Structure 1
Amino acid sequence: MRFHQLFFVIHFLVNLSPLIAHSQSLKKFEFSTFKMGTTFRLVFYAKDSSQANLVAKKAFRRIDDLNEKLSDYHNESELNKLSQSSGTNTFVPVSDDLWKVIIVSLEASKKSKGAFDITAGRYVKLWRRAKRKNELPSAKELEDAKKAVGYDKIVLDQKSQSVKLIASKMKLDLGGIAKGYTLDEILKVLRGEGINSALIDGGGDILLGDAPPEANGWKINIAKDSSSTLNKTLVLSNISIASSGDLYNFVEINDVRYSHIVNPKTGLGLTNQITSTIIAKDGISADYLASTLCILGIKDGLKLANKHDFPAIIQVKQGNNTIICQSKRFKKLIN
């Protein structure tokens, strides 16, 4: 599984200093590692370096464990083995981790009316090749891939915790949700070891645990751009922040700019220069919502954000102008 760190015109700058001097009984520690194609950074408070090192090792092992289950890059991953069973009319038992991610993914698909769809793996594979060759997939390739796309082609058996993929040659892709789930699982590892005050950064997406000792929360600075008058500091804890967009990750083919974000309804990268930033209750929600709002666009994206009452900023560049919209919940946060 590979994720790429992205920075957007709307971005979050994390100030790791607590609002008040932390207690002398706990010390701040920071660890980082490159896994899943991105950098994971852990910042947390522990009693001593021995505890901190042990907890960090357990957290990083958990990332490796999830990569073996959820990656579409490793041929022998649990996800790819499930994809290989597609069209065989067979229910395949899956691990708790893969089951949980698929359950949330299907809920996200229904909520977004298919704008988020983990069955778009065939499209994603075509688009990766298109970016390498700087050449669009053919109409025939897209039509063939379309036969294997559609979240309604996933059938669940809850009693046996198994999954059946009813169309042949399906390929699942969890790139829009697995990183958020990984952040949530890292925080579980930390909390299981008695570490509650933590910040986890996975390629720019952030999950916050409890506030630093004797502080009200982690200070998050929000800026629209380097010269913006919008420069607010939020004090947050036990929440997640994720961004998605094509500011740096895009390709131009035949003078058209395409995003790395693939629209599961067309099989092509988005052509509207759009970015979104989401604040949600957990990492998995923030992760899938960030990419989903980019696919939906400003109108439908804001409609979804306001319907489910979560903070969101969506930005679209149109020529020399930039349209920036905030959900109702986000406006309340910064005002």
Structure 2
Amino acid sequence: MKKSKLLVSIAACSVLLLSACGENSQATKNETSQTERDLASSPYTKTEFLMGTVVTLKIYDKGKEDVLDKGFDRVRDLADKIDVNDEQKRTSEIDKVNAKSGIAPVKVDDDIFYLVKEGIKYSKQTGGTKDITIGPITSLWHIGFPDARKPSQNEIDERLPLINYKNVELDEQNKTIYLEKKGMELDLGGIAKGFIADEVGKVFKENGVTTSIIDLGGNILLQGESPKGGDWNVGIQDPFSPRNTILGKLPEQDKSIVTSGIYERYLEVDGKKYHHLFDPKTGYPFDNDIAGVSIISKKSITGDGLSSAAFSKGIKEGLQFIESHKGVEAIFVSKDKKVYITSGLKGKFELTSDEFKMGN
């Protein structure tokens, strides 16, 4: 198994792990912590292309190399249940729910029932600006795939009435999901990677892993302290520059960092770029003042759900929205290169690029 250096670059360029932080005054504590955890000098690393993205798992605990395969087994297991992008097979549990829209409820396993229930929760929290039934629109544009196109207004208008999370019926007792209107489609892209990252984290902990990096195409989950003790040094990507160019950094440990932005997946038509984050009310990508937003939270599904939810609201309302969630912080980057942070990051986040300014 190939080992890599501590410097970690993230495939979806949402965040970067620059280095391990550690104060000199904590040297003795850190050395003890590292001895107790019995960490390798560099991580066991494995990378695969799954769910349309690069998935990289890193484990720093000595003798835990085989746990990487267990982590990937869990990723593949969940991806098979969730993935709706395989046009040939159409065999995922979400595919089956979508195929039976307006016809009959579909029994699903506990993982999928929980995921859809969480998706509805975040849809409710945003008042519908984020909606897990956006599938008819995302499949119409299909941004990020070879057949992506800008649909006609008539096509969009025909599908907008199908989008309403309130028309998803969940049966807790029988674990069934029913989409009440024919043609409705669930799209769990806004929370699926976060859920999968959390599940891989559970697998790692159950197998005695104390220090790891779980990277699902930019959804980052840090487990434990850095190998040197103390915090990881997390860099936030400059959304206007090539990958691995950061605008700022902050120290974190045992946290998830998830970013939503307009700069990774988009379709360009007649000189105009259309990104992949859609407004359920218009059927077009959100057009507001945000270039990117990063959410720092304990669980990755929280970061996933709230990142796209915050993006849907713009910077001012997005900041207020995140401030209302205990234990969650956010970094917003505006299209005019200003950076806005929630109150819990003041004195913690450090702007490192001269091209950006802190907003009020």
TM-score exceeds 0.5: yes
* Residue of structure 2 equivalent to 1:38: 53
CA distance in 1, matches of 2:214, 2:59: 8
CA distance in 1, matches of 2:246, 2:201: 34
Asked if the contact 2:221–2:256 (Cα under 8 Å) also holds between the matched residues in 1, the reply is: yes
Return the TM-score normalized by structure 2: 0.81
Alpha-carbon offset, residue 224 of structure 1? 5.7
Alpha-carbon offset, residue 135 of structure 1? 5.0
324-333 or 150-159: which moved more? Answer: 324-333
Alpha-carbon offset, residue 217 of structure 1? 3.0
Identity of aligned residues (%): 31
Q: Structure 1, residues 207-265: CA drift from partner, whole Å, max 9, x if none?
A: 01122467123232457688x9974441x222100111112422232443321212222
* Residue of structure 2 equivalent to 1:311: 329
Asked if the contact 2:142–2:149 (Cα under 8 Å) also holds between the matched residues in 1, the reply is: no
Q: Is 1:291 aligned with 2:314?
A: no
CA 1:46/1:298 → structure 2, altered by over 3 Å: closer, same or farther? same
Q: 1:250 aligns with which of 244, 250, 266?
A: 266
Q: Structure 1, residues 59-105: CA drift from partner, whole Å, max 9, x if none?
A: 111111111101111311111001111101x3222111101111111
Matched AA of 2:275: S
CA 1:138/1:312 → structure 2, altered by over 3 Å: closer, same or farther? same
Alpha-carbon offset, residue 315 of structure 1? 1.8
CA distance in 2, matches of 1:264, 1:5: 28
CA distance in 1, matches of 2:113, 2:98: 14
Matched AA of 2:73: R
CA distance in 2, matches of 1:274, 1:135: 22
Matched AA of 1:269: P
Asked if the contact 2:233–2:249 (Cα under 8 Å) also holds between the matched residues in 1, the reply is: no
* Residue of structure 2 equivalent to 1:15: 18
CA 1:231/1:298 → structure 2, altered by over 3 Å: closer, same or farther? closer
CA distance in 2, matches of 1:135, 1:64: 29
* Residue of structure 2 equivalent to 1:147: 161
Q: Is 1:6 aligned with 2:21?
A: no
CA distance in 1, matches of 2:301, 2:21: 26
Alpha-carbon offset, residue 15 of structure 1? 3.2
Alpha-carbon offset, residue 132 of structure 1? 5.4
CA distance in 2, matches of 1:191, 1:229: 31
* Residue of structure 2 equivalent to 1:80: 95
Q: Structure 1, residues 6-54: CA drift from partner, whole Å, max 9, x if none?
A: 33xxx53203546345328332322222211111112223232xx31x2
CA 1:203/1:130 → structure 2, altered by over 3 Å: closer, same or farther? closer
Q: Structure 1, residues 253-283: CA drift from partner, whole Å, max 9, x if none?
A: 2443321212222111234462111101211
CA 1:232/1:171 → structure 2, altered by over 3 Å: closer, same or farther? closer
Gaps of 5+ in 1: none
1:210-221 aligned within 5 A: 210-212=224-226, 215-221=229-235
CA distance in 2, matches of 1:135, 1:45: 43
128-137 or 207-216: which moved more? Answer: 128-137
Alpha-carbon offset, residue 314 of structure 1? 1.5
Q: Secondary structure at the match of 2:348?
A: helix
CA distance in 2, matches of 1:73, 1:138: 22
Asked if the contact 1:180–1:286 (Cα under 8 Å) also holds between the matched residues in 2, the reply is: yes
Alpha-carbon offset, residue 313 of structure 1? 1.5
Alpha-carbon offset, residue 134 of structure 1? 7.2
* Residue of structure 2 equivalent to 1:205: 219
Alpha-carbon offset, residue 158 of structure 1? 0.9
Q: Is 1:26 aligned with 2:44?
A: no
Alpha-carbon offset, residue 114 of structure 1? 0.9
CA distance in 1, matches of 2:12, 2:59: 23
- Cα RMSD over matched residues? 2.6
Q: Secondary structure at the match of 1:293?
A: helix
CA distance in 1, matches of 2:80, 2:167: 24
Q: 2:339 aligns with which of 324, 327, 334?
A: 324
Q: Secondary structure at the match of 2:199?
A: helix
Q: 2:277 aligns with which of 245, 258, 261?
A: 261
Q: 2:257 aligns with which of 238, 241, 244?
A: 241
CA 1:129/1:47 → structure 2, altered by over 3 Å: closer, same or farther? closer
Q: Secondary structure at the match of 2:313?
A: helix
Q: 1:55 aligns with which of 67, 88, 95?
A: 67
Gaps of 5+ in 2: 1-9, 23-29, 351-360
Q: 1:178 aligns with which of 178, 192, 217?
A: 192
CA distance in 1, matches of 2:145, 2:223: 37
Return the TM-score normalized by structure 1: 0.86
Asked if the contact 1:72–1:174 (Cα under 8 Å) also holds between the matched residues in 2, the reply is: no
Q: Secondary structure at the match of 1:244?
A: strand
- The size of the alignment, in residue pairs, is 320
